[in-house]
Structure formats: C-alpha cells, structure tokens
Structure 1
Amino acid sequence: MTQLIDKRDLEYDRLARVQGAEAFLAETDRVAESVHHALIADDSKVNRFTGHLTELRVDGAPAGLADRAGAAAADGDYIARAKEYLSSVSGAIGFAAGEPVEFEADPKVTTTSGGMHVVSLQQTLNGIDVWGMAPKVWLREDGTVDRVVGDTASVPSNVPTMPVVPVETALAVGAAKAAEPIRIEGPFGTDELPVLDISDGFGRLSSQARNDQPMTFEAGAFDEAIPGRLVYFYMGDDVRLVWSFRFSRANGAVQYHALVEADERTADASAPQVLYLQDLTNHVVGGLVVRQNPAETEPALASFPLPLTDYPVKLPPTPLPGFPGPWATQRNGHVATVGNNVRAVDADTGKSFQVDVDAAGNGVFAPNPDTAEQRVTNIFFVCNYMHDFFMMLDFTEEHGNFQTVNFSGLGRGADPVVALAHPRPVFGTANMLTRADGLAAEMNMGLVARTNRHTAMDVDVLRHEFTHGVTNRLVGGLHDANGLREEQSVAMGEGWSDYFALTIRNFFREREHTVVGEWVVDRPGGFRQRPYDDSYPGDFGDIGKATGGLDYTKIHNVGEIWCAALLEMTRRISAELGSKQRGYRVAWQAVVDGLKLTPKNPSFLTARGAILRALKDLKGTAFTEAEYPEVRKAAWGSFARYGMGFDAFCPNASFTGCRAGSGLPPAGHED
C-alpha cells in the first residue's frame, strides 16, 4: 500500500481539547449507573484523534436474547441487540448528549470458534457513512454484550447533506490524481507506472435517487467501473462531506481510494481538493507443483485436492457442507486449473492449463518446467491449499471465504480467487485485490526482473498474498472487505501474511525457518530487514522511527514487528503446552478468531486485545482450564517482549506517538 495524500491532522488530540481523561472516565461511570451494570473503560484505549473509546468492556449486562433460550437466534436478533446496546452506552464511548448516534450493520454476523457472535457496524448520519468509523460488538450466545471495540467519532447534527461539488467534477479531480505516474519501492525493486490518459472521461452507469446512495461510472481508461458515493470524513477538528471513489489500474497494480471535497467549505466548486488518496492494493514488499520453494525441492506430483492428513490443522468436529470439495471440475473429457475456489490462468492468453482425463476420470497436470503452464499450476495448487487450510480454521462460507458456489447457502458465493500468472514483471511484482463478499478476489503474480525468478513459484509469496484476502475479509467485514486502511492496520496486514507464510512452512520442519522470499529475490536474508528469529530487534516503540540501521517508517517494515510478536507467541504457547503441534494450532485459531473480533482500522494494541480474548474463549476446547493461565501468560509475555505490554500506548492507529510497554496485566485483569 502507498499512502499518497492525507489531509487529516492525526496529531490532533480531541480528548484533551474536549474533556480530558478524568472527565471521560467519570462519564463512563455515570452511564454505567444508568444501565445498571458495570462498564470498564481505560483511558489508554481512547483514540486521541477522535476522543472516543476504542474498547468498552461490559460486565453484568442482561442476556438480551434470553427469551430465545433453546431456539436459534437469527443474525437479525444479534444485530438489533448490538445497535440497541451501543445506543444505550454511547455516552461512555465518547458521544456527548444530543450528538447523533446512528449505525447500520453488516447483515452477516460472524461467529468465532469460541462461540462469540460479532456484529460489524458502520457509523452513519443522514444515511451517509462516516468514513473509517466501524466498530464491532461482541455478544455471547444468549445476547449478552461482552464488549464494544473499534472507532467512532462525534459528528455534528448540522453537517451538510447536499454536495455543492457535482459528482462528475469530483470524479475528474480524483481520476486525474489516480492517473498520475507512480513509483513504488518494494522488496522486489522499484516499479514505475506511467501517466494514464483519461481525456475520454467517464459515463454514468447508474443513477442516484438520493445523495446517500452509491452510483457507478464507466471504467474509461481504468481497469474497472468506478464506484462513487458521498461519505463524511472526520479530520480532527472538522468533519467534511466528500465524494468517495475507487480507481483500479494495470492488472491490480494499484487500487486507489480517493476522497474529494463536496461541501460548501470547498473554496472552488469547479476545482475541489483531494483530501485523501490511498492505494488499497496489498503488495509484497494432482499436478507437478513446488510444495515448498525451488531452493528446497523440485516440482513433484501432488493430488488435487490434497488428503486432509497433509494439512497441519484438523478438520472441525462439525462437518462443513461440501468440504472437502474437488479443486478442479471435469468437463468433456478435460480437467483444467479452474474450480470452485480458484481460477488460475495465464495473464496474456486468459487461458487455464487444461489436460485430458483417462477412462477412469483421472487427469494429471504435468507441465514442462519454466513454462506458463507450470506457473499457472503452481498458483492453482497453493491457492486451493490455502483455501482449505483457512476453511479448517473457520474461515468458511458464512465468513466470506472465496468460492464460486457456497454449499451451505451462507455468504454470497460467486467470488473465487482469480489468479493470474504474468509472463513478465508486473507493477508491484505480486499483489492481491480483495473485494466484498460476492465479488471475486484477484491475485497477480509476476517476474522479478533482477533475478528472473517468478513469484508464482515462490510458495512464501503465494501464501503471503492469499492471507491478505483472509485478513481483509475478516477485519474489513463482508460488506466491503476494506478494514485495513490506517498505517498500523496496513502494517499488520503484512505481518499477518508473513506469519502464516512462515508458520505453515515450519509446522512440519524440525528447524524453524525465519526468512521470507529468499528464493525469489535470490538473497539468503529474504526481503525483510532481519530474520524472524527470537532475537528480532524491533518493538512497538520503534514505530515511526529509523534508527540503528532499521527503518520503521515504512509499512512493510512495521509489519515485521507484528509478525515477530505472533511468531514469539506461537513459540511460547508451544513450549507451555509441551507440543509444537498443539501450540501452532492454538495460535493459528486464536489469530483467526482474533481477526473476526478485530474492528476496522485497528492499532496493534487493539488487535492484540482481540487475540488475547480469542485465547480465553478457546479455554476448554483447544486446551484445558488448568492450562489456560500459562497459555495466557505466554501470549502476554510475547506481546510484552515486542513492546506491546499492558502499559503500551498509542493515541490512534497512525505511526505517531507509539509508546512501548513491557508490563504484564495486574492480577485479576480480564482479557
């Protein structure tokens, strides 16, 4: 991701200007009295930029769905309970009396393997989204609210609802910025995308009955049709009405999100300013397949699909509809690299790799080395492997996984991973575009020009990119899969991806592997600053700084700190449980469940809290009650080792103001 324009003042401290921490906590106590149960707030968990609490813990709330005991509550019941509860405690979160408190919900409620129901909300006003303000409410099976997490903001009731800037004018300004040449420095080298000719303009594809409704414009010189809508943009001491657009370029090389002035504050309605421009794309900074990397193994025959015993995770106790399903579909005596989960093709021809089947219906993808067919086969294999791996960790159809047909009837389907193997370098070298549930994800793999090695043949890179799709969907929510936009959030996306790439590789290895992508860049140290061993040097307090030969001002580098902490947690849990297999499985499940609990645009500390709570909910299933205290201690110790202890602090999810802490929680503290 490349951050290009951001007019917000992220050092703005609304908490200090409006009331201060002491008054804030006093208001929380007052609200607790009015709702007749305990509300637990911590001033270190206030987003200083918005002045609102990012985590409100609840103790003793009534069971909102107790009257449905013995009957399955529908998603709508949990949504109604979440919205009602959030409204009742809005003052404890930071809303002042009389301020609008309006939210719309993602219609799909996510459930963790520990049984927590997670309602994803979007703050709105006048039917218009408040950009970036999307909390989650955690509820137990009976509807008891456990906590509210994520960002909200105070928006005045008198903000404008009608734009003074015509949408076509704003679109032209945003498109001009998105069409500019761009240079991105990444782990594979530097890429430059030339200027795009947009002189032909953009015709409207859909009409807009009301201001709050989305609309769509023709792609023009861009790769995809351009969605546009009005949103409110919280900037600190100001809230602006803006036009929001998304522009896609060059095989998923970049996908810009642009916010352009729309209200009467615009100095010149014929020439509005771009207030925010960000690249949303995640870049990496039976057949003959490479199951590790070419440096370790030659292409070897593997069954499509693999037997479940080949996976490091176990099949859930409750059968999953249609799982495990075939990877490739047989038609007219042929089988191709196209199936329910993945559609892998050569980017130049748009063709899959197809082979004949014998009389028994068997077909073998046996491509020649160093060919387009080999690259397509490898992408197809690894993406299907990752689909099944995460499926067994409960990234299922109801949670927005990538499938053409959803056999459970949950989720939207029609969204496999479309994986493209390019015969030449592509912008960013490797990327993954994740769209909302029901819209196909797109993976692009290209050649590393410096080494003449292809990312489609590097299993680390493929696993890394696929994981971006998982984290974008689980944190972002099914509605837009776009919940990792702030600096710390995007960095964690890179860290989660490195974490799964390495731990899947290490589960079956006696000696831990600690570098990523060493084959494709032909460098023993891979494409990160330091190996991910237990002496990795950076910590949370280094974020935003460049010191000692390490640069933590860049997204990928900051992501290393998050990955290092997760790896340390996995090692320590494994040691406490006395089993590498159990430790890895517990850590993986806690991380995936934690993603479901994590609100949009989280800080490291918010995501840390979600993982710790996910571990608590695994008590009695993944490990015993007696083992839990030591597992919890191992997790807290790992985060503390990397500066994310109980006393760590950050004012928001930017790279500004991160303060390391190595303390453990006090006795009696509940995660």
Structure 2
Amino acid sequence: MMTPPDGTMPRMRMYVWDTATPYRDGDLESGIVIHEYSHGLSTRLTGGPANSGCLGYGEAGGMGEGWGDAIATLTRQVEEHKAFINGTDLFAMGAWAANRDAGIRNYKYSTNSTVNPSSYKTLDKPGYWGVHAIGEVWAEFLFVMSQRLVEKYGFSATLFPPTNTSEPNDYYTKVAEESMDDKGRPLPLVPAHGNTLALQLIINAMKLQPCRPSFFDARDAIIQADDMLTGGANACLIWKAFAERGLGQDANVVGQTPWGGGIRNDGFKVPSKVCKGSKE
C-alpha cells in the first residue's frame, strides 16, 4: 500500500494470484487486505502524520511488513485459536491466495520455537535482507507477546469497544470513576483482555517510536506504551516475551548502518529490577 502523508489519498494495489486454477483474487483473503491497510496505519503513526518516509528500508522497513502480519493475525484470531498459546495451532499468511498451507512466509506464526525458530539473530541469515523476511521475524516477536498477554488476561471475542463507555462493560478494566493522573486528567481506558491490550499497545507504540526505528526502538516503545497505559503492569511479561526470541536486554548489533547490515547477537536477559518480585 502506497501511503503518502496524512491528508493525501493512499493507494492499495491488490493482485490476482496464479498459484491455482482458476486464479485467486488476493482481495478475497482477509489477512492480505488487513496487512495492506496496516501499512497505512504504521506509516502515518511512525514519525508523525506528515512524514511518510520513516519505514522505507532496513529494520524499519521490515517492521512495516511485520506490523501488517501481526495485526492481520491478531484481528483474525478467534476464541477457538486459543491453542496458539501452546503452539498446537498455527497461523499462516496468504495460505489461500498462494494455494499453500504454509503460506508465503518462511514459517507459520507460533509460540513454539520448534515450529517457528525466529530470533533476533535470524536477521543475519542469507535471505533475510528483504523487508518481508525481516518483517516476519518482527511479527513473530509480536505474536509471542500477544499470546503471553492472552495467557494473563484472557481473550476478547470482539476487537470493537462499546460505543458508550459510561455504561458497564467488560471490554475495559474497571477503574474508579474519579481516577485521575498526577495532572488531574482522567486515566486512560485499558483493554481488559490480552488480545485487545496487545493491539492497543502495538498501535500506541507506533506513535512513540522515532522515525526509522530499529527493533530495539520499537521494543522499547511498546514497553513505554505499557507504562503510559497501565503503569507498567506488564513490563516483565513484555520483556520476557521479547527475550524469548533473543531481543532481551543484552541483545546487540555490531557494525549496523542506517540501511541495515551488521552482526546481531541474541540476548535472553531481562532487567532484574523490572521482574523483581514478579510472578510472570
């Protein structure tokens, strides 16, 4: 999806796939359409609505693709897919259009590292220089994080919040009506379930990260988004989810340029102060 700055009309191009007879129209696979719309979201939120050039290449460009896969997976997930949590249910991208059960990525998305072994170091492998390959690694990280949040908070059958938030509902966590922050402003509404909270954190983080973010920048923005939304209630869980896949506190990259490259090293540590006394 070609996304110019906010206020200018974007253009989504969809294609007919020649992988089956008769040919298959990509418009008929919801995951592909959601993925493309997500480009508009991530492009305009990262770096501000007037700057549409923040996700063009390298890790930043890859994450643009990864957010598309992650949001497509989160929005298509239904309650029956709770088996994602133990890795027995898997999600492919583009499986129908490509006429291929495994879809168009190297691995299906799964919390099981035997099924999907992607880690930060994976980006150094041959074939992972392109934005789509980089993106599926980032999407796997977000997938693991979202399912860990589902483990903690449960699953919402709808992603749509109630139109009248003043009436009792179970979409948001219950907070005292008079709850205010230190500046006297009402506290933000916090989604009560893991899948809706994950989606909210991912979107909020896009607004916080810098132009041309690295994996580290985007990870830290999600942690910051959680701190701003929940007071850091999930900091340990989020750190552990990223550390599962090598993007822990001690992960690093040597010799990276703004265009990519460098040698990456997985890190599996989490900040001791963050998880001190935590049951997560």
Provide the residue aligned with 2:10 in structure 1. 441
Report deviation, 1:597. Answer: 0.2
Provide the residue aligned with 2:264 in structure 1. 658
Is 1:646 the counterpart of 2:249? The answer is yes
Report deviation, 1:655. Answer: 3.1
SS at match of 2:13: strand
- Scaled by the length of structure 2, what TM-score is found? 0.76
Higher helix content, 1 or 2 = 2
Report deviation, 1:486. Answer: 3.3
Spell out the pairing of 1:77-96 with structure 2 (5 A cutoff). none
Is 1:520 the counterpart of 2:97? The answer is yes
SS at match of 2:92: coil
Provide the residue aligned with 1:596 in structure 2. 207
SS at match of 1:444: coil
Larger RCO (CA within 8 A; separation ≥ 6): 2
Provide the residue aligned with 2:140 in structure 1. 564
Alpha-carbon deviations, 1:421-446, whole Å to 9, x = none? xxxxxxxxxxx110111100111112
- Aligned-partner Cα distance in 2 for 1:540–1:533: 16
Listed as ranges, the gaps of 5+ residues in structure 1 are: 1-431
- Matched AA of 2:245: Y
Give me the identity figure in percent.
Answer: 29
Higher strand content, 1 or 2 = 1
SS at match of 2:5: coil
Report deviation, 1:539. Answer: 0.8
Is 1:580 the counterpart of 2:186? The answer is no
Aligned 8 A contact 2:32 2:94 in 1: yes
Q: State the structure with more CA Rg.
A: 1
Provide the residue aligned with 2:19 in structure 1. 450
- Matched AA of 2:211: K
Provide the residue aligned with 1:552 in structure 2. 128
Report deviation, 1:555. Answer: 2.0
Say which of 110, 116, 122 aligns to 1:542. 122
Change beyond 3 A, Cα 1:668–1:460: closer
Aligned 8 A contact 1:486 1:602 in 2: no
SS at match of 1:488: helix
- Matched AA of 1:612: I
Instruction: Count residues in correspondence.
Output: 225
- Aligned-partner Cα distance in 2 for 1:565–1:475: 19
Report deviation, 1:668. Answer: 5.9
Aligned 8 A contact 2:70 2:139 in 1: yes
SS at match of 2:91: coil
Alpha-carbon deviations, 1:68-93, whole Å to 9, x = none? xxxxxxxxxxxxxxxxxxxxxxxxxx
- Aligned-partner Cα distance in 1 for 2:263–2:59: 12
Aligned 8 A contact 1:576 1:634 in 2: no
- Matched AA of 2:155: K
- Scaled by the length of structure 1, what TM-score is found? 0.32
SS at match of 1:658: strand
Change beyond 3 A, Cα 1:668–1:633: closer
Q: Once superposed, which parts of structure 1, at least 4 consecutive aligned residues long, lie more than 6 Å away?
A: none
Say which of 487, 490, 493 aligns to 2:58. 487
Provide the residue aligned with 2:216 in structure 1. 605
Report deviation, 1:658. Answer: 2.0
Alpha-carbon deviations, 1:200-244, whole Å to 9, x = none? xxxxxxxxxxxxxxxxxxxxxxxxxxxxxxxxxxxxxxxxxxxxx
- Aligned-partner Cα distance in 2 for 1:609–1:591: 11
Alpha-carbon deviations, 1:142-166, whole Å to 9, x = none? xxxxxxxxxxxxxxxxxxxxxxxxx
Change beyond 3 A, Cα 1:569–1:587: same
Q: Cα RMSD (Å) of the superposition?
A: 1.8
Aligned 8 A contact 1:476 1:484 in 2: no
SS at match of 1:445: coil
- Matched AA of 1:524: D
Alpha-carbon deviations, 1:87-122, whole Å to 9, x = none? xxxxxxxxxxxxxxxxxxxxxxxxxxxxxxxxxxxx
